[in-house]
Structures are given as C-alpha cells and as structure tokens.
C-alpha cells in the first residue's frame, strides 16, 4: 500500500470489507513502513560510537636483589658469600607517569600526570630462590600509560624476623676453609627516587586492559664488592667487602647492626657503609636519588 493522503480512507474501507483482523494487520504494516522497518540504520552502540575501551590495567610492583643474593657471590676479597635471607622492608611506594621523563637531575620535586601509591609496609626476602623478582603487591584498575619513575622508602619492619631493621642480611662467608656465619642488620631508613627502568627489557609500560611490572632493584655488590672486577675498580674501592665482618667475628660467627658497627669499625670503614646505603637502591641499572630519613 502506498502512503498518501488517501491512506486513512483505504484503512476504513478495509475495516468494513475484511473485518477487524485484517484492518489491524494493515495498520501494523503501515506503522512499520512509516518507521522504516527493514532499512539499514547508521546508528552505532554508544560504546562503539565513542570508541570506549578499558583505559586501566594492572601494575605489579616487584623487588629484585639480582643473582648476587639469590645464588651467592664472591666479595672483593674473594670471600664466597651465600645468603640464607635478605629481608628488606619497603614503604611509601609510588609509581609515576612523568612527561618529560623524570631523571635524577630534576631533584626531589617534579611534576607527574598519574601516580599510583601502595599503602602500608611490605617485607620481602630477596634471597629466596623464587624472588626473581620478589612480588611486593599489585595495583589493579590503575590508569594505563608509561610509569617511568618510582619512589619508595627502605623502612624498619614493625614485626617478623627482621623487626626493627630496614634490611637484615643473614648468611655465611667462606674463604680458605674458614667459615663465618653472619647476621648484618641496618636500622637506617632511606628514601629513594628513580626514573625509568634501565635493563635488558622495558618495564612500566601499561597498555589498556593489560598488565606491567615496575621494579625496585638492590645492588648487593655495592655492599660487598666483587672479585669479578679489579681491586681498584671504583665500586670495589667504595664497597665494605666481607673482611671487616670476619675481623670482628667472635669465633665462627658475627651478629651486628649498623649502630654496633659504628663502634666496632674504624670511622673510615664505617663511613663506607653510610655512603653505600645511598646508592644501594636502583631501578634496574638506573641510579636513584637517596636520602636518610628518621
């Protein structure tokens, strides 16, 4: 039926001639024709029209003591050190999206577009074979983007095996048949701030709907040195090594804290420890700003 000014009259005739059922059917056809039934619509679902997709993802925070602490190492004086535990407690952890990218030359005050913060303290054992790296905590539904800066505090643990220490290292040192069991605790809290991860793979790049990892790295070769480098290598010159601990051992063991070392070691040797803590934390191979707190 074509639609024109005579359409209503034809419907009335239909009502009289064929009865109410056919008339109703005719009305339905008319309505459908007017509404454009069967025609392709250009309309799109709101989500499709706007191109809306998930703009968040999961950011995993991890800590890494590297193979030195997981597999053992040889100090700058060739003491073979194996680690039973390397408890580190982390707090005030924040990841940032910065543009321009953050570098330590900008200092402690910088601008960022997005920030993700973990509340609380987290203690991990960097010496665990499974700590490659050690999971700290993941943050879900955080803004996607490139997290190219991270800050944290190495803080004293409130409980657990490392209570009272920000870093507690337990293990053994062996050289020429002599074995020294050691426990080395650091009460000093240190704040770190670093830029983009530097390493063999890129980290911190979170795509919408995906996941990414951001790492806090700790260089134990800065503390003990390594005989893989020359004795006059700058890192070895600035490292404590293991010999000073062996020298103050009582028999075959030594259990010391940073405060007790300040009394037991020569001031120049103890000064090495104070400096080491300020470049102990990294982001991969990337250096961090660091400062003592509390």
pLDDT at 261 (0 to 100): 98
Q: How far is CA 207 from CA 49, 58, 117, 198, in A?
A: 21, 9, 19, 19
Mean pLDDT calculated for residue range 126-142? 98
pLDDT at 294 (0 to 100): 80
Mean pLDDT calculated for residue range 122-135? 98
pTM above 0.95, yes or no: no
pLDDT at 272 (0 to 100): 97
DSSP secondary structure of 262-286: HHHS-HHHHHHHHHHGGGSEEEBTE
Rounded distance between C-alpha atoms, residue 131 and residue 58, angstroms: 20
Model confidence pLDDT, tens digit, residues 161-204: 999 999 999 999 999 999 999 999 999 999 999 999 999 999 99
Structure tokens at 206: 């979170």
Rounded distance between C-alpha atoms, residue 250 and residue 138, angstroms: 43
Report yes or no: 226 and 208 within 8 Å, Cβ to Cβ.
no
Model confidence pLDDT, tens digit, residues 209-237: 999 999 999 999 999 999 999 999 999 99
Model confidence pLDDT, tens digit, residues 158-168: 999 999 999 99
Mean pLDDT calculated for residue range 113-118? 98
pLDDT at 169 (0 to 100): 99
pLDDT at 3 (0 to 100): 42
pLDDT at 17 (0 to 100): 43
Model confidence pLDDT, tens digit, residues 236-249: 999 999 999 999 99
pLDDT at 54 (0 to 100): 59
* 21 vs 69, residue with greater confidence: 69
Mean pLDDT calculated for residue range 43-51? 34
Would the pLDDT of 63 be above 70?
yes
Percent of the chain topping pLDDT 90: 81
pLDDT at 52 (0 to 100): 39
Mean pLDDT calculated for residue range 20-28? 39
- Taking Cα atoms as reference points, which of 162, 156, 116 lies closest to residue 138? 116
Least confident interval from 11-20, 47-56, 83-92, 124-133 = 11-20
């Amino acid at each position: 039926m074509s639609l024109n000014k005579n359409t209503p009259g034809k419907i009335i005739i239909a009502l009289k001639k064929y009865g109410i059922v056919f008339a109703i059917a005719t009305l339905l056809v008319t309505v459908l024709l007017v509404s454009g039934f069967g025609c392709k619509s250009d309309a799109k679902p709101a989500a499709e029209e706007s191109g809306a997709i998930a703009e968040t993802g999961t950011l995993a925070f991890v800590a890494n003591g590297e193979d030195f602490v997981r597999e053992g190492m040889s100090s700058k004086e060739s003491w073979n050190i194996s680690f039973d535990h390397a408890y580190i407690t982390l707090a005030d952890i924040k990841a940032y999206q910065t543009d321009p990218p953050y570098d330590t030359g900008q200092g402690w005050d910088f601008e960022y577009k997005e920030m993700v913060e973990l509340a609380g303290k987290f203690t991990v054992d960097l010496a665990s074979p499974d700590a490659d790296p050690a999971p700290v905590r993941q943050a879900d539904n955080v803004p996607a983007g490139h997290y190219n800066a991270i800050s944290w505090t190495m803080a004293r643990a409130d409980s657990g095996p490392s209570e009272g220490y920000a870093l507690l290292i337990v293990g053994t040192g062996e050289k020429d048949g002599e074995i020294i069991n050691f426990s080395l605790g650091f009460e000093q809290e240190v704040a770190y701030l670093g830029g983009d991860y530097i390493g063999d793979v890129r980290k911190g790049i979170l795509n919408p709907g995906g996941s990414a990892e951001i790492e806090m790295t700790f260089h134990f070769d800065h503390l003990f040195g390594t005989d893989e480098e020359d004795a006059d290598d700058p890192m070895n010159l600035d490292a404590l090594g293991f010999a000073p601990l062996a020298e103050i051992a009582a028999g075959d063991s030594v259990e010391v804290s940073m405060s007790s070392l300040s009394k037991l070691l020569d001031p120049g040797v103890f000064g090495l420890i104070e400096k080491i803590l300020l470049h102990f934390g990294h982001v991969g191979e990337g250096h961090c700003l660091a400062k003592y707190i509390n």
